[in-house]
């Protein structure tokens, strides 16, 4: 099966499989963390929010504890992340109104790269994508090592890696997929009442881990 050029039924099958396997408690946790963050202005994010919904999202839902509690980052990443978010607060706030599928990424290239780079420095590549997704779930897609590698193999227009340019290019790959499979993603979005990027994340997770 081609990851980026599947049959529509393969997307539906993968999402259905993920829905049946995903633990109920973890799905509730994802929804609650996203919902809680939507209520908070990005300019108001401080240590309380970092150690609350953001840390919960990364460690309890995203299972990033091994990375974040390593000797390199333990007890330091929260403050670095807070500073990184505040440096880019205006840009991050503006992305909350954006839909990745409908946005010309060329208009935001510099800001995306700079923002991702700063947050990656605080929490590493996979966690950086999860933080960005949490802050703006309709614009920033999530990845992990496996998804990044598998998408890289198939997406030829742009080079994908864990750098800031690589994440920007990954956003293009996801945008292209959303446009190509607009109807199928829309139907799944309505059926499961989840964002398009969350639906696509479920598809990629199952497809890349078979």
Give the residue from 194, 118, 182, 127 showing the smallest Cα distance to 174.
182
Q: Residue ranges per domain, the chain?
A: 8-86+99-208
Give the residue from 77, 81, 56, 80 showing the smallest Cα distance to 68.
77
What confidence tens digit (pLDDT) does each residue in 61-104 have? 998 888 888 767 766 899 999 999 999 999 999 999 999 999 99
Do 80 and 111 contact (CB within 8 A), yes or no? Answer: no
pTM of the prediction? 0.94
Kindly give the parts of the chain with pLDDT less than 50: none
The angle that helices 182-192 and 164-180 make with each other, rounded to 10 degrees, is 90
**pLDDT value for 20:** 78
Residue 139 CB neighbour total at 10 angstroms: 24
Do 172 and 105 contact (CB within 8 A), yes or no? Answer: yes
């Amino acid at each position: 099966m081609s990851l980026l050029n599947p049959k529509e039924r393969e997307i539906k099958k993968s999402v259905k499989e993920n829905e049946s396997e995903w633990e109920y408690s973890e799905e509730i946790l994802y929804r609650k963390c996203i919902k809680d963050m939507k209520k908070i202005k990005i300019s108001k994010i401080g240590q309380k929010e970092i150690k609350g919904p953001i840390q919960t999202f990364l460690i309890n839902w995203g299972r990033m504890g091994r990375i974040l509690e390593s000797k390199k980052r333990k007890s330091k990443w929260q403050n670095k992340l807070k500073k990184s978010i505040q440096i880019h607060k205006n840009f991050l706030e503006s992305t909350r109104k954006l839909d990745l599928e409908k946005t010309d990424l060329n208009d935001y290239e510099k800001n995306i790269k700079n923002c991702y780079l700063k947050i990656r420095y605080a929490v590493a590549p996979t966690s950086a994508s999860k933080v960005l997704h949490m802050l703006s779930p309709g614009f920033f897609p999530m990845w992990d090592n496996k998804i990044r590698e598998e998408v890289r193999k198939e997406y030829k227009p742009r080079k994908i890696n864990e750098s800031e340019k690589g994440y920007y290019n990954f956003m293009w790959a996801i945008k292209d997929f959303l446009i190509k499979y607009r109807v199928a993603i829309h139907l799944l979005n309505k059926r499961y009442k989840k964002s398009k990027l969350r639906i696509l994340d479920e598809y990629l997770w199952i497809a890349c881990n078979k």
